[in-house]
């Protein structure tokens, strides 16, 4: 296979009539949920795997809440190299099955992603495998940044603000780099997290990176205990706003999105959708932190495969 192969698609950009009506300004959805691995992760991870794991490599190993693992397994299968994915016990069984369906070897290790990551680093060393970090690597950011170039090519003009979910901060770093590359570096960026998986918000409040004692949110794919340092650096920019929603608000957003847009996404993505559905954007406008007459809002629909009707039912019972 040629080394110019790419694994992601140019994802659809759609105008949401229902969300625009709610917000009173045009809302565009970048549908990363349509990516072959189910989330935006394939952009950055596909790029990194391509660059670091040649056809003669012994294989790749990735620590993941699920979606980074799926992206790694997908890319590895396309390159015909073995993939080992380490997930914490908090990842639902449905993700483990999807990883196996991608041909990956799956190991369940520890309670949260940070535990799984320690094991992945150990395996990379002992088995001589290429380590695939789910969010903390310049190649991952470079791959994610490509999304902004697609946006620049298809949006009629620069967005009034961008909304995205933050876990370890890889998507955020890629987006910030991409915005700068296309001359949109001053566009307000709203970073959404759930309470209990709020490592960026905690760092912003403390003025330094902090490690959360535990991940108590059900949005396990946002569940890195510490945000990566590049993301913390970007968060200091004046155009970056960090906001939180509860798991319940993220879940309600997932349900509304399913109802109105007919697409099922995971709770990690619901955090972003809740920026519109729970009135976060409107509050920021009221507080004068976003302009009253806001230009088009761009929502990155990051997607995620850790969801099914059964999982949704389970979340209804556990989300607070």
Binding site for ligand PLV (CB under 6 A): 39, 41, 64-68, 113, 134-135, 165-172, 221-224, 266, 268-269, 302-304
Nearest approach in angstroms of CB 164 to ligand PLV is 8
For the beta carbon of residue 22, count every other beta carbon within 10 angstroms.
17
For residues 181 and 148, give the distance between their C-alpha atoms in angstroms, rounded to a whole number: 9
For the beta carbon of residue 118, count every other beta carbon within 10 angstroms.
14
Partnered with residue 62 across adjacent β-strands are 85, 132
Nearest approach in angstroms of CB 38 to ligand PLV is 8
Nearer to ligand PLV, 132 or 284 (CB): 132
Nearer to ligand PLV, 82 or 110 (CB): 110
Nearest approach in angstroms of CB 307 to ligand PLV is 9
For residues 270 and 245, give the distance between their C-alpha atoms in angstroms, rounded to a whole number: 9
Nearest approach in angstroms of CB 39 to ligand PLV is 4
Nearest approach in angstroms of CB 22 to ligand PLV is 22
For residues 120 and 122, give the distance between their C-alpha atoms in angstroms, rounded to a whole number: 5
Nearest approach in angstroms of CB 232 to ligand PLV is 12
Which residues, in sequence order, are CB contacts of 317 under 8 Å at separation 6+?
A: none
C-beta of residue 26 within 8 angstroms of C-beta of residue 38: no
Nearer to ligand PLV, 35 or 50 (CB): 35
For residues 43 and 112, give the distance between their C-alpha atoms in angstroms, rounded to a whole number: 24
Nearer to ligand PLV, 53 or 221 (CB): 221
DSSP alpha helices (H): ranges in 107-216? 113-127, 138-154, 170-181, 199-206
Nearest approach in angstroms of CB 76 to ligand PLV is 15
Nearer to ligand PLV, 267 or 294 (CB): 267
Nearer to ligand PLV, 83 or 171 (CB): 171
Residue tagged 């979340």 (tokens) = 315
For residues 173 and 186, give the distance between their C-alpha atoms in angstroms, rounded to a whole number: 14
Nearest approach in angstroms of CB 105 to ligand PLV is 16
Nearer to ligand PLV, 26 or 167 (CB): 167
Which residues, in sequence order, are CB contacts of 233 under 8 Å at separation 6+?
A: none
Nearer to ligand PLV, 9 or 282 (CB): 9
Crossing angle for the helix pair 138-154 and 170-181, to the nearest 10 degrees? 50
């Amino acid at each position: 296979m040629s080394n110019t192969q790419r694994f992601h698609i140019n994802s659809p950009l759609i105008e949401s009539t229902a969300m625009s009506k709610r917000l009173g300004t045009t809302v565009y959805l970048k549908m990363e949920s349509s990516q072959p691995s189910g989330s935006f992760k394939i952009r950055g991870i596909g790029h990194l795997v391509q660059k670091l794991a040649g056809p003669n490599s012994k294989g790749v190993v990735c620590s993941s809440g699920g979606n980074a693992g799926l992206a790694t397994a997908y890319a590895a299968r396309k390159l015909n190299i073995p993939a080992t994915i380490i997930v914490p016990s908090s990842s639902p069984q449905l993700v483990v099955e999807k990883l196996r369906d991608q041909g990956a070897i799956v190991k369940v290790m520890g309670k949260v992603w940070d535990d799984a990551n320690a094991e992945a680093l150990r395996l990379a060393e002992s088995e001589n495998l290429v380590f695939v970090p789910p969010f903390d690597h310049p190649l991952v950011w470079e791959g994610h940044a490509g999304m902004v170039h697609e946006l620049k090519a298809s949006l009629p003009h620069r967005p009034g603000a961008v909304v995205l979910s933050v876990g370890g901060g890889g998507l955020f770093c890629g987006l910030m780099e991409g915005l700068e590359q296309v001359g949109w570096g001053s566009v307000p960026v709203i970073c959404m997290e759930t309470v209990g998986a709020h490592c960026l918000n905690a760092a912003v409040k403390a003025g330094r990176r902090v490690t959360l004692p535990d991940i108590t949110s059900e949005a396990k794919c946002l569940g890195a205990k510490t945000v990566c340092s590049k993301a913390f650096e970007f968060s200091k920019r004046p155009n970056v706003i960090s906001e939180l929603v509860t798991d319940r608000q993220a879940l309600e957003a997932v349900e509304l999105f399913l109802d109105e847009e007919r697409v099922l996404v995971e709770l990690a993505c619901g955090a972003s959708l809740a920026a519109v559905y729970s009135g976060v954007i409107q509050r920021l406008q009221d507080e004068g932190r976003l302009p009253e007459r806001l230009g088009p809002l761009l929502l990155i629909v990051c997607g995620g495969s850790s969801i099914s009707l059964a999982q949704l039912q389970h979340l209804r019972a556990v989300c607070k």
